């Protein structure tokens, strides 16, 4: 993958993350998380559960156990996850553009 393509695709996912935070939906979150996970894994390598736990991505701050989330709780959860993952994507773009870091899947042609 070329650097320009990675930056472009990551920026698209950042825009979608901002939209999710503004208009939360669980189904859209699941698709967006999968797309962003796939792109980040292609660029930087896969993250194990230790790294994801350290980033606290996808883990609600106030755990709800044994019951379904209310619509309000679900919206708050989607906003929290979208905001956290979007921050990771922004750091990825910064690493690529400002710092010029090499990435795993980089091709020159």
Measured CA angle at 87 (ends 4, 23), to 5 deg: 100
Return the half-sphere exposure (C-beta side, CA atoms, 13 A cut-off) of residue 1.
20
Measured CA angle at 3 (ends 6, 93), to 5 deg: 60
CA 36 to CA 42: how far, in whole Å? 10
Q: What is the pLDDT along the chain (109 residues), one digit of tens a residue?
A: 999 999 999 999 999 999 999 999 999 999 999 999 889 888 888 766 555 555 555 555 555 666 788 899 899 989 999 998 999 899 999 999 999 988 887 887 6
Domain residue limits, the chain: 3-97
Estimate to the nearest angstrom the gap between the alpha carbon of 10 and the chain centroid.
9
Per-residue DSSP letter, 64? -
């Amino acid at each position: 993958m070329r650097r320009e393509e990675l930056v472009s695709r990551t920026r698209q996912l950042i825009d979608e993350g901002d939209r999710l935070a503004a208009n939360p939906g669980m189904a859209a979150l699941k698709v967006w998380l999968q797309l962003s996970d796939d792109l980040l894994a292609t660029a930087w390598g896969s993250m194990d559960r230790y790294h994801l736990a350290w980033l606290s991505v996808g883990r609600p701050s106030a755990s709800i156990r044994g019951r379904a989330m209310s619509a309000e709780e679900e919206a708050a959860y989607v906003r929290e996850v979208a905001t956290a993952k979007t921050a990771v994507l922004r750091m990825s773009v910064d690493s690529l553009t400002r710092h010029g870091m090499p990435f795993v899947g980089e091709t020159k042609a």
